[in-house]
C-alpha cells in the first residue's frame, strides 16, 4: 500500500498499491496536464512562481523555507546553465516519505521538477537519491525513461522550445549528503562536505552555477498546487501552513507508516489513524519532525496540531514530518544515546565544534547509559551543546545538539537517576515488555 | 570601498574584503588556524568567530564578507565565548605532547591555547589516536593525533602545488589526513606544507628532534638553487645550519620555497665537506696549509701562462657562483692573460656571444608572471627546473584564466591545464617555434620573416599564436633546455620575432641562481667559451663550483680534456671523488651559507647576503681565495677589503635591480636547423641532481625525483627497438656508454630516448641533446 491512511490526500491520491506508478497511470490521474498547459500557453515564469507563493508551500526537507520565495532568488537573466536539484537523500532517522513518493508517484516529482525548471529557466536537473534504497533509484530511472520517451523531459519538450534534461544520481548512504551543499559537492564527484554559505546555491550552486534545491515532496506538490490553484492548496491546510503533508510515523504505534493529512490536523487524530499506541501503553514522548527536532513530552504533543506553527510554539520543529512515537517503556537515556551516536557517526568532520562536539556528546551520554555518569555530566552536556550550536558550517551541529538539550530538559529525572543509581528509571522488564525486538529475541 | 568598524575603530576597506582582510588591514588580530592568505577559504576551524552587529550568531571572520557600515566585535562576550569554546574543542583530543613536539615554541595551537585555552580539561573521555604514516623522506607524519583538520595542507596541494598529495579521508572525528594508498609526499613543493601546518602534525623529517626552535638563530640568506633567488631564513645552532625556511618576499618567492631549497642544507653538514686544501703530488693527495696550496696554484698557472701563453688556460665557473666570485675569477684569468672564462657549462650554442644587446633576463618582474593572460614556454622541464616560476604560472592559469602553452621535449605533467602543447625532439624545437611565429604572422597579416617559408603550421601552433595575439599581457620564455640546445641562438631569434609580432614580452627563465649576475660580472669568454675550452684541450684549468662530469653539456669531452691537462685547480665545497682523479689541487671554498656575496636573479633583482655560519674547517669564501691568489700573483686590483666593494665595483651602485638587462639580438639571421637523424637523446637535469648541494642531501636523494635515470622511451620507440620496459639496455654516445633499464614513457617524443644528465650512471655519455644509440645489453 502506498499509504496507510489519509485525509484529503493530494500527493498520494488515487494510488493503488505498487501498480500505479507508471506514466499511463499518472496521466490517467491527470498527470502532466499542468506541464502541458504551461508550455502550450506559454504561461509567464513569474506567474508560476506567484502561484507557488500563494500556496504558502514550505519546503518539506526540514527547514520549512517558503518554496516560492526560494525560487524567486534565482537570477533571472543568467547566461549559461542553471540547475534544479531534487533532494531525495532522506537520511534523517524517522523519515521515509520521499522513498514512497519516488516509488509510488515518481512522475509527480518529474513533472514538478520540469515545471520548476521552466519557472526558473533551468536547463538541467538532478535527483539525488539515497544510496541505500536501490529499488527506488531504479524505479525513478524507469520513470525517467518513460517521461523522456513521452517527451516530457529532454530537448524541446512537447514542441515548446523549452528543454530540460533530468538525471538521477544516487548517493552512498552518508546522511550529510542530504545537506544541500554537501549534496552538490557529492554530485560534482567530491567528498560530501557542506560548503560555507554565503554564497548560497542560488548564486553559486552546482558547478558554480545558480541552483535551486528542493525536497522530493516539495517538488511533487507543485503540479497539484498549479492544478488546484495556490489558494486552494493553502486552504487545505491552515494559514501560513499550506496544503497536505506526508508524515512518517514510526515507533510504538500499531500501524507505523506514511500518512497524508492536511496541515493543522491534530496530533491525536494522526495517532488514531495509526491505530493508537501499541499494546495500549501510555504515550511518553514524541519527536515530531525527524531526529533533529527536539523531543516533546506526550501530553504537550497531544495538544499540538501537525503544522509548522503549532509544533514550533510547543518548542520543537515540524522538520521533515517524521513522527517518532515513544511509549512509557522507553528509556530516554538509551534513546538519546542512540541518537547521539548517529550524529557523532554522521558528522562530516569538517568543522571543529561539530567534529569534536558530537563525539564528546556521544561519549558522555554513552557513559551515563552504561552506569558511569558523573554528577556534573548534565551541566557539561548542556555547555557542550551551547558551544556547538550556531558555530558550525552546516546545521548538523545544531541537529546533534537539540536532541541532547531537549531530552535533558524534559526528562532530566531519568538522566539524574542513571547518574546516581547507575541504572534506568524505567525498569528493565518494562522496557523489555515494550520492545518487540526483545520478545522475538528471547 | 566599504566602511567597517572593528572594536570601535573605523576603516575603509576594498569591496569584496572579508572581515579577516579588514582586520589585518587595520592591525587587529583575530585568532585563526585554517585561514591562510594564499589559500582558499575553508572556514572549518571556527577559531575566528567574531560578533557582528545584528547577527544572532557569531560569524567566522575569514569567510564573512564586509558589508557597508558593518560593526564587528572581536572581544565581546559572545565572541570570546565562541573562541574559547572552539579552543576547548581543538584541545580535547589533542595529545598535549608539547614537550616532545618539534613544533613546540612555534606552534599556533600552543600560542593560542595560552590566550584562549582553559587551565584544565573538562574532557575525561578516551582520546582519539591517529596512526602515523610514512610519506617519504621529507615530511614526518609520525604524530597525526596532533592534526586539527584545518586542511591547509590539502588546499596547498590542490591550489598551489597543483597536486593533491594529501587529502582528508573518512568522516566525523575519524577524519584523517593521509596520502593516496602507498604514495609519498615529495613533489617539488611539498615541504611548504610543513610551514603551513599550524601544529606539529607535519614536521620536517630531516630536522626532526635535532633542535628546539628557541635554540635556533634566524639568519637571512638567498637561495643558490635556482634563478628565482628565493629569500631564505637559515636557522643556525652552534655555528651549524639546522634548518632552512622561506623568508616571505611577495615579489620573489611569496611565502614558499622548493623542497630543494628547504632540504639541500643537509649537505653542508655532511662528512663529504672539503675542509682542508689538498694537493696531489706524485699521484698522492696531501692536505696542505693554505699558503702552500695557493703558492702551488699561483706558480702552476703562471708557469703554464708563461710557457704556452694565456690561451693554454681556461676557467669554468658554476652559474650559481656569487657575483663577486665570478668577477674576481675572470679578473684573475685576465691577469694571467687568459680570456677563456665562462659560466655556462651546459651551453652548446654560443653564436649569440657578441650579438646580444644586453644581459639576457626574464624580460619582466617575477610578480608580473601571475598576471599574464598568455604565455608560451619553450624548452623547459618547467616544474623541476623552476618550481616557483611554475607555481606563479599555475596561479596565472588557475586564478586569472591565463592560456599557458608549452613547446617541450617531454610531456611531463606540469600540474596545470595547458592551452596548447607540442612535445618534440630536440632537433625540432626551432622548427616548432618557427611554426608558431609563422602562424602568428599569418593571423596578424604581417610579413613572414625570411627563412620560414617552408615551415609547416599545425593546429596547436595556431592555438599558441592565437592566445599570444589575443591576450593583453603575454610572454614568450625560453627555458633551460632551449638555452642548452644546439639551436639556442635560433630559438632566441625566433622568440624575439614571435614577441614582436604578437606584442608579447620575450624572456629567459634563467638557468641558475646567478645566470644574470655572471653576465654582469663579465664571466664571459673573450677567448674560448665553455665548449671550446674542452673541445680544444688546454694545459691548465680552474674550475669553480662545477663538477664537470655532472654539469657539462658534454661530460665525456670535458673529462677527457681535464685528464690530459697539466694542472686542474678545483674550488669546491665538497670532497669530490671523481675530482681526485682529474684535479691536482682542491681548494675548500665556502658554500653560500659561509660566505657573503650577491646573486642577481632572473628578473634582475640584486640580492646580497652575508654568511650565516663560520666556514667549515679551513674552508674560505672563494672571493677571499681569489683575492689572495691575485695578490700572490702580484696582479693589479685585488685590494678589496670586503665583498661589498667588489659588488659595488661590478654593479656600479645599482641597488635593487641591475641595469643593462636586454634580450635584444643583433645580426642573427634565421636559419632553421635540419631535422635530426637517428635516435636523439633528451637529457633533463633532475631537480635533485642539479647542484652539488642537492646531490649530497640524503633526504632529497631518497625522493622520487632522485630515482636513478632510466632510458625512457615511448611505446612505439621501444617496439621499434624490439625492447620492453624493464629490459636492460646499453646507450652509447661517442666513446662512452651506460647501462640502464628501459622504461615506458609516452611523454617522450618518438625517436628519442630520455636519459637524464647529472648522474654518475650517465656521466660517461656525451651531449645532452646529441645522437645516441640504444641496444639491448
Ligand atoms: C545534516 C542535514 C541533512 C539534511 N538531509 C536532508 C534530506 O535528507 N532531505 C532533504 O530534503 N533535506 C535535507 N536537509 C535540508 C536541505 O539542506 C535543504 O534545506 C532542503 O533540501 C531544501 O529543500 P526544501 O526547501 O524543499 O525543504 C538536510 C539538512 C541538513 C543540515
Ligand atoms: S556542522 Fe558537522 S556536518 Fe556540518 S560541516 Fe561542520 S562538521 Fe560537517
Ligand atoms: S596535517 Fe596540519 S595542515 Fe594538515 S589538516 Fe592537519 S593540522 Fe592542518
Ligand atoms: S580561520 Fe576562520 S574558520 Fe578557521
Asked if B551 contacts B318 with a C-beta cutoff of 8 angstroms, the reply is: yes
- pLDDT at position A79, please? 87
**How far apart are alpha carbons A289 and A182 in whole angstroms?**
21
pLDDT band at A436 (very low <50, low <70, confident <90, very high): low
pLDDT band at A193 (very low <50, low <70, confident <90, very high): very high
The C-alpha cell of A325 is what?
512515537
pLDDT band at A313 (very low <50, low <70, confident <90, very high): very high
Chain B residue numbers with beta carbons less than 8 Å from the beta carbon of A174 are 171
Which residue in B has a C-alpha nearest to residue A354's C-alpha?
B172
Q: Number of H helices and number of E strands within chain A?
A: 20, 12
| B46 with A351: Cβ contact below 8 A | yes
Q: A193 CA distance to ligand 2 centroid (A)? A: 7
Which residue in B has a C-alpha nearest to residue A197's C-alpha?
B63
- Whether A134 is in the pocket of ligand 1, judged by its Cβ within 6 Å, is no
Closest CA to A262 of A214, A300, A213, A228: A228
Residue of A174, A353, A386 lying closest to B46 (CB–CB): A353
- pLDDT at position B654, please? 85
Q: What is the mean pLDDT of residues A167-185?
A: 95
For B353-416, give the DSSP string: TTTBSSB---SS-GGGGGG-SEEEEES--HHHH-HHHHHHHHHHHHHH--EEEEEESS----SS
The residue whose CA is least distant from atom 4 of ligand 2 is A394
Q: What is the pTM of this model?
A: 0.96
What is the best residue among B22, B41, B60, B154 to mutate for testing ligand 4's pocket, by most ligand atoms within 8 Å of CB?
A: B60
Long-range contacts of A71-76, Cβ-Cβ distance < 8 Å, separation of 24 or more: A71/A116, A71/A119, A71/A120, A71/A212, A73/A200, A73/A202, A73/A212, A74/A120, A74/A121, A74/A122, A74/A202, A74/A210, A74/A212, A75/A202, A75/A203, A75/A210, A76/A121
What is the best residue among B199, B203, B204 to mutate for testing ligand 3's pocket, by most ligand atoms within 8 Å of CB?
A: B199
Asked if B409 contacts B665 with a C-beta cutoff of 8 angstroms, the reply is: no
Cβ count near B667 (within 10 Å): 7
- pLDDT at position B675, please? 77
Q: Would you call A372 an interface residue with chain B, using a CB distance cutoff of 8 Å?
A: no
Chain A residue numbers with beta carbons less than 8 Å from the beta carbon of B56 are 390
Residue of A359, A374, A390 lying closest to B172 (CB–CB): A359
| B172 with A386: Cβ contact below 8 A | no
User: Quick check: A439 pLDDT over 60?
Assistant: no
Closest-approaching ligand to the CA atom of B44: 4
The C-alpha cell of A236 is what?
487545505
Asked if B73 contacts B23 with a C-beta cutoff of 8 angstroms, the reply is: no
Distance of CA A154 to the CA centre of its chain: 28
Closest-approaching ligand to the CA atom of A397: 2
| B173 with A355: Cβ contact below 8 A | yes
The C-alpha cell of B491 is what?
630559438
Chain B residue numbers with beta carbons less than 8 Å from the beta carbon of A380 are 122
Cα angle A84, A85, A89 (rounded to 5 degrees) comes to 170
| B166 vs A438, higher pLDDT | B166
User: Quick check: A442 pLDDT over 80?
Assistant: no
Please state at what angle helix B622-632 crosses helix B290-308, rounded to 10 degrees.
Answer: 60
Cα angle A212, A218, A222 (rounded to 5 degrees) comes to 95
- Whether A178 is in the pocket of ligand 1, judged by its Cβ within 6 Å, is yes
State the Rg of chain B over Cα. Answer: 28
- Whether B46 is in the pocket of ligand 4, judged by its Cβ within 6 Å, is yes
Q: Would you call A360 an interface residue with chain B, using a CB distance cutoff of 8 Å?
A: yes
Q: How many A×B Cβ pairs under 8 Å?
A: 95
* Residue A184 Cα, gap to closest chain B Cα (Å): 16
Closest CA to A73 of A89, A56, A53, A93: A53
- pLDDT at position A433, please? 84
The C-alpha cell of B612 is what?
650565516
Which residues of A, range 375-404, sit inside 8 Å of B by Cβ? 380, 386-387, 390-393
Give the H or E element holding residue B525.
Answer: none
| B126 with A363: Cβ contact below 8 A | yes
Kindly report the three-state secondary structure assignment for every residue of A296-344: EEHHHHHCCEECHHHHHHCCCCCCCCEEEEEECCCCHHHHHHHHHHHHH
User: Quick check: A153 pLDDT over 60?
Assistant: yes
Q: What is the pLDDT of residues A298-310, one digit of tens each?
A: 999 999 999 999 9
User: Quick check: A214 pLDDT over 70?
Assistant: yes
Pairing of strands B606-609, B597-600: antiparallel
Pairing of strands A124-129, A83-88: parallel
What is the best residue among A180, A242, A248, A395 to mutate for testing ligand 1's pocket, by most ligand atoms within 8 Å of CB?
A: A180
What is the best residue among B42, B107, B132, B151 to mutate for testing ligand 3's pocket, by most ligand atoms within 8 Å of CB?
A: B151
Share of chain A above pLDDT 70, in %: 98
Closest-approaching ligand to the CA atom of B155: 3
**Omega before residue A315 within 30° of 0, cis:** no
| B88 with A174: Cβ contact below 8 A | no
Residues with CB under 6 A from ligand 2: A 176, 194, 347-351, 354-355, 392-394, 396-397
| A393 with B85: Cβ contact below 8 A | no
The C-alpha cell of B457 is what?
603550421
The residue whose CA is least distant from atom 10 of ligand 1 is A61
Q: A398 CA distance to ligand 2 centroid (A)? A: 10
Residue of A196, A357, A360 lying closest to B63 (CB–CB): A196
- pLDDT at position B340, please? 98
User: Quick check: A16 pLDDT over 90?
Assistant: no
Q: A195 CA distance to ligand 2 centroid (A)? A: 9
* Residue A391 Cα, gap to closest chain B Cα (Å): 7
Cβ count near B505 (within 10 Å): 18
Q: What is the pLDDT of residues A387-416, one digit of tens each?
A: 999 999 999 999 999 999 999 999 999 999
For B312-339, give the DSSP string: GEEEEE-TTS-HHHHHHHHHHHHHTT--
Residues with CB under 6 A from ligand 3: B 147-153, 177, 196-199, 201-202
**How far apart are alpha carbons B765 and B770 in whole angstroms?**
10
Give the H or E element holding residue B729.
Answer: strand B728-733
**How far apart are alpha carbons B38 and B647 in whole angstroms?**
35
* Residue A46 Cα, gap to closest chain B Cα (Å): 30
Asked if A118 contacts A39 with a C-beta cutoff of 8 angstroms, the reply is: yes
Residues of B with CB under 8 A from a CB of A: 41-47, 49, 56-58, 60, 63, 65, 82, 85-86, 88-90, 92-93, 122-126, 128, 148-149, 168, 170-175
* Residue B73 Cα, gap to closest chain A Cα (Å): 16
Cα B345 to Cα B352, B558, B599, B652: the distances in Å are: 16, 10, 18, 27
Q: What is the mean pLDDT of residues A36-59?
A: 97
Residue of B89, B90, B172 lying closest to A349 (CB–CB): B172
**How far apart are alpha carbons B217 and B199 in whole angstroms?**
21
Residue of B58, B63, B92 lying closest to A360 (CB–CB): B92
Q: B61 CA distance to ligand 2 centroid (A)? A: 18
Distance of CA B691 to the CA centre of its chain: 10
Determine which of A191, A341, A351 to mutate to test the interface with B (most B C-beta atoms within 10 Å).
A351
Please state at what angle helix A106-120 crosses helix A33-41, rounded to 10 degrees.
Answer: 20
| B172 with A391: Cβ contact below 8 A | no
Asked if B480 contacts B227 with a C-beta cutoff of 8 angstroms, the reply is: no
**What does the longest C-alpha to C-alpha distance in chain B come to?**
91
**ipTM of the modeled complex:** 0.94
Residue of B58, B86, B172 lying closest to A352 (CB–CB): B86
Mean pLDDT of all residues belonging to chain A:
95
Asked if B361 contacts B392 with a C-beta cutoff of 8 angstroms, the reply is: no
Pairing of strands A5-6, A257-262: parallel
- Whether B34 is in the pocket of ligand 4, judged by its Cβ within 6 Å, is yes
Asked if B468 contacts B440 with a C-beta cutoff of 8 angstroms, the reply is: yes
Which residue in A has a C-alpha nearest to residue B63's C-alpha?
A196
Residues of chain B with pLDDT under 70: none
**How far apart are alpha carbons B312 and A268 in whole angstroms?**
110
Amino acid at each position: 500500500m502506498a499509504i496507510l491512511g489519509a485525509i484529503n490526500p493530494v500527493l498520494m491520491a488515487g494510488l493503488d498499491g505498487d501498480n500505479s506508478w507508471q506514466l499511463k497511470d499518472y496521466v490517467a490521474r491527470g498527470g502532466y496536464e499542468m506541464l502541458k498547459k504551461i508550455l502550450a500557453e506559454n504561461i509567464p515564469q513569474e506567474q508560476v512562481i506567484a502561484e507557488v507563493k500563494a500556496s504558502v508551500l514550505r519546503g518539506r526537507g526540514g527547514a520549512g523555507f517558503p518554496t516560492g520565495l526560494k525560487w524567486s532568488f534565482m537570477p533571472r537573466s543568467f547566461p549559461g546553465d542553471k540547475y534544479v536539484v531534487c533532494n531525495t537523500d532522506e537520511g534523517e532517522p524517522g523519515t521515509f516519505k520521499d522513498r514512497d513518493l519516488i516509488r509510488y508517484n515518481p512522475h509527480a516529482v518529474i513533472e514538478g521538477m520540469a515545471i520548476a525548471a521552466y519557472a526558473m529557466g533551468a536547463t538541467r536537473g538532478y535527483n539525488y537519491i539515497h544510496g541505500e534504497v536501490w529499488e527506488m533509484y531504479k524505479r525513478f530511472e524507469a520513470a525517467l525513461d518513460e517521461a523522456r520517451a513521452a517527451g516530457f523531459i529532454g530537448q524541446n519538450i512537447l514542441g515548446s522550445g523549452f528543454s530540460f534534461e533530468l538525471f538521477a544520481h544516487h548517493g552512498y548512504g552518508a546522511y550529510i549528503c542530504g545537506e544541500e551543499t554537501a549534496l552538490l559537492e557529492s554530485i560534482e564527484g567530491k567528498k560530501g562536505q557542506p560548503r560555507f554559505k554565503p554564497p548560497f546555491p542560488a548564486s553559486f550552486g552546482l558547478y558554480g552555477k545558480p541552483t535551486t534545491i528542493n525536497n522530493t515532496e516539495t517538488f511533487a506538490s507543485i503540479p497539484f498546487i498549479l492544478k488546484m490553484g495556490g489558494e486552494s492548496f493553502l486552504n487545505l491546510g491552515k494559514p501560513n501552513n499550506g496544503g497536505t503533508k506526508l508524515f512518517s510515523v514510526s515507533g510504538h504505534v500499531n500501524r507505523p507508516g506514511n500518512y497524508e493529512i492536511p496541515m493543522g490536523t491534530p496530533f491525536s487524530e494522526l495517532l488514531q489513524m495509526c491505530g493508537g499506541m501499541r499494546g495500549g501503553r501510555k504515550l511518553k514522548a514524541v519527536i515530531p519532525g525527524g531526529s533533529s527536532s527536539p523531543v516533546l513530552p506526550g501530553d504537550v504533543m497531544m495538544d499540538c496540531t501537525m503544522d509548522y506553527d503549532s509544533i514550533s510554539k510547543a518548542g520543537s520543529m515540524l522538520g521533515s514530518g517524521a513522527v517518532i512515537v515513544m511509549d512509557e517503556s522507553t528509556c530516554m537515556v538509551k534513546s538519546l544515546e542512540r541518537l547521539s551516536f548517529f550524529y557523532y557517526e554522521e558528522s562530516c568532520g569538517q568543522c571543529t565544534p561539530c567534529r569534536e562536539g558530537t563525539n564528546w556528546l556521544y561519549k558522555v551520554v554513552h557513559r551515563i547509559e552504561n552506569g558511569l555518569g558523573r554528577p556534573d555530566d548534565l551541566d557539561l552536556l548542556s555547555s557542550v551543546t551551547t558551544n556547538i550550536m550556531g558555530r558550525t558550517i552546516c546545521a548538523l551541529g545544531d541537529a546533534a545538539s537539540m536532541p541532547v538539550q531537549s531530552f535533558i530538559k524534559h526528562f532530566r529525572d531519568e538522566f539524574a537517576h542513571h547518574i546516581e543509581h547507575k541504572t534506568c528509571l524505567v525498569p528493565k522488564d518494562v522496557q523489555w515488555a515494550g520492545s518487540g525486538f526483545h520478545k522475538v529475541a528471547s | 570601498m566599504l566602511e567597517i568598524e572593528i572594536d570601535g575603530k573605523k576603516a575603509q576597506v576594498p569591496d569584496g574584503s572579508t572581515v579577516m582582510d579588514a582586520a589585518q588591514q587595520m592591525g587587529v588580530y583575530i585568532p585563526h588556524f585554517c585561514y591562510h592568505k594564499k589559500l582558499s577559504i575553508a572556514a572549518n576551524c571556527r577559531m575566528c568567530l567574531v560578533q557582528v552587529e545584528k547577527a544572532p550568531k557569531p560569524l567566522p571572520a575569514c569567510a564573512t564578507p564586509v558589508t557597508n557600515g558593518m560593526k564587528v566585535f572581536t572581544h565581546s562576550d559572545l565572541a570570546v565565548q565562541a573562541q574559547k569554546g572552539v579552543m576547548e574543542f581543538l584541545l580535547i583530543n589533542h595529545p598535549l605532547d608539547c614537550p616532545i613536539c618539534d613544533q613546540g615554541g612555534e606552534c599556533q595551537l600552543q600560542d593560542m591555547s595560552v590566550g584562549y585555552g582553559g587551565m584544565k580539561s573538562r574532557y575525561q573521555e578516551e582520546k582519539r589516536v591517529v596512526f602515523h604514516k610514512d610519506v617519504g623522506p621529507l615530511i614526518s607524519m609520525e604524530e597525526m593525533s596532533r592534526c586539527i583538520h584545518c586542511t591547509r595542507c590539502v588546499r596547498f596541494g590542490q591550489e598551489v602545488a597543483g597536486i593533491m598529495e594529501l587529502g582528508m579521508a573518512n568522516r566525523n572525528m575519524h577524519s584523517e589526513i593521509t596520502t593516496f594508498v602507498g604514495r609519498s609526499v615529495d613533489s617539488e613543493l611539498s615541504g611548504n606544507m610543513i610551514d603551513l601546518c599550524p601544529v606539529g602534525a607535519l614536521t620536517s623529517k630531516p630536522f626532526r628532534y635535532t633542535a628546539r626552535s628557541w635554540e635556533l638563530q634566524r639568519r637571512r640568506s638567498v637561495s643558490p638553487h635556482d634563478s628565482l633567488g628565493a629569500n631564505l631564513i637559515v636557522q643556525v645552532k652552534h655555528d651549524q645550519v639546522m634548518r632552512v625556511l622561506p623568508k616571505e618576499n611577495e615579489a620573489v618567492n611569496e611565502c614558499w620555497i622548493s623542497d630543494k631549497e628547504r632540504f639541500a642544507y643537509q649537505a653542508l653538514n655532511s662528512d663529504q665537506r672539503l675542509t682542508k686544501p689538498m694537493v696531489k703530488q706524485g699521484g698522492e693527495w696531501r692536505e696542505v696549509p693554505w699558503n702552500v696550496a695557493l703558492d702551488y696554484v699561483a706558480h702552476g698557472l703562471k708557469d703554464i701562462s708563461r710557457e704556452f701563453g694565456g690561451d693554454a688556460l681556461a676557467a669554468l665557473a658554476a652559474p650559481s657562483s656569487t657575483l663577486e666570485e665570478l668577477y674576481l675569477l675572470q679578473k684573475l684569468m685576465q691577469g694571467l692573460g687568459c680570456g677563456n672564462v665562462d659560466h655556462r657549462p651546459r651551453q652548446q650554442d654560443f653564436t649569440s656571444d657578441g650579438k646580444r644587446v644586453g644581459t639576457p633576463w626574464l624580460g619582466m618582474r617575477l610578480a608580473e608572471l601571475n598576471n599574464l593572460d598568455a604565455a608560451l614556454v619553450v624548452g623547459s622541464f618547467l616544474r623541476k627546473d623552476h618550481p616557483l616560476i611554475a607555481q606563479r604560472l599555475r596561479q596565472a592559469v588557475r586564478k586569472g584564466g591565463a592560456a599557458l602553452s608549452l613547446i617541450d621535449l617531454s610531456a611531463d605533467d606540469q600540474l596545470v591545464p595547458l592551452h596548447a602543447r607540442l612535445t618534440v625532439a630536440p632537433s625540432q624545437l626551432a622548427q616548432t617555434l618557427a611554426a608558431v611565429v609563422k602562424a602568428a604572422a599569418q593571423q596578424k597579416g604581417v610579413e613572414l620573416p625570411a627563412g620560414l617559408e617552408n615551415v609547416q603550421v599545425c593546429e596547436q601552433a595556431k592555438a599558441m599564436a592565437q592566445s599570444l595575439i589575443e591576450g593583453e599581457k603575454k610572454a614568450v620564455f625560453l627555458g633551460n633546455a632551449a638555452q642548452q640546445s644546439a639551436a639556442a641562438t635560433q630559438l632566441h631569434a625566433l622568440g624575439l620575432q614571435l614577441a614582436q609580432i604578437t606584442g608579447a614580452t620575450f624572456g629567459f627563465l634563467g638557468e641558475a641562481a646567478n645566470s644574470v649576475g655572471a653576465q654582469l660580472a663579465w664571466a664571459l669568454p673573450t677567448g674560448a667559451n665553455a665548449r671550446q675550452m674542452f673541445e680544444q684541450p688546454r694545459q691548465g684549468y680552474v674550475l669553480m663550483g662545477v663538477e664537470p662530469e655532472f654539469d657539462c653539456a658534454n661530460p665525456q669531452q670535458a673529462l677527457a680534456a681535464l685528464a690530459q691537462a697539466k694542472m686542474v685547480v678545483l674550488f669546491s665545497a665538497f670532497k669530490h671523488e671523481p675530482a681526485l682523479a682529474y684535479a691536482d689541487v682542491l681548494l675548500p671554498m665556502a658554500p653560500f651559507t659561509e660566505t657573503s656575496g650577491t646573486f642577481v636573479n632572473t628578473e634582475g633583482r640584486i640580492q646580497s647576503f652575508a654568511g650565516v655560519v663560520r666556514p667549515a674547517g679551513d674552508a674560505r669564501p672563494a672571493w677571499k681565495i681569489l683575492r689572495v691568489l691575485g695578490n700572490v700573483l702580484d696582479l693589479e686590483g685585488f685590494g678589496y677589503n670586503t665583498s661589498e666593494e667588489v659588488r659595488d665595483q661590478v654593479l656600479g651602485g645599482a641597488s635593487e635591480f641591475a641595469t643593462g638587462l636586454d634580450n635584444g639580438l643583433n645580426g642573427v639571421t634565421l636559419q632553421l636547423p635540419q631535422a635530426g637523424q637517428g635516435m636523439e637523446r633528451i637529457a633533463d637535469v633532475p631537480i635533485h641532481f642539479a647542484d652539488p648541494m642537492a646531490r649530497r642531501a640524503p633526504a632529497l636523494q631518497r625522493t622520487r625525483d632522485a630515482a636513478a635515470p632510466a632510458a625512457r622511451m615511448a611505446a612505439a620507440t621501444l617496439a621499434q627497438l624490439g625492447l620492453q620496459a624493464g629490459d636492460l639496455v646499453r646507450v652509447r654516445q661517442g666513446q662512452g656508454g651506460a647501462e640502464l633499464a628501459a622504461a615506458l614513457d609516452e611523454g617522450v617524443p618518438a625517436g628519442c630516448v630520455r636519459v637524464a644528465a647529472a648522474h654518475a650512471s650517465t656521466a660517461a655519455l656525451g651531449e645532452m641533446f646529441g645522437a645516441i644509440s640504444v641496444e639491448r645489453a
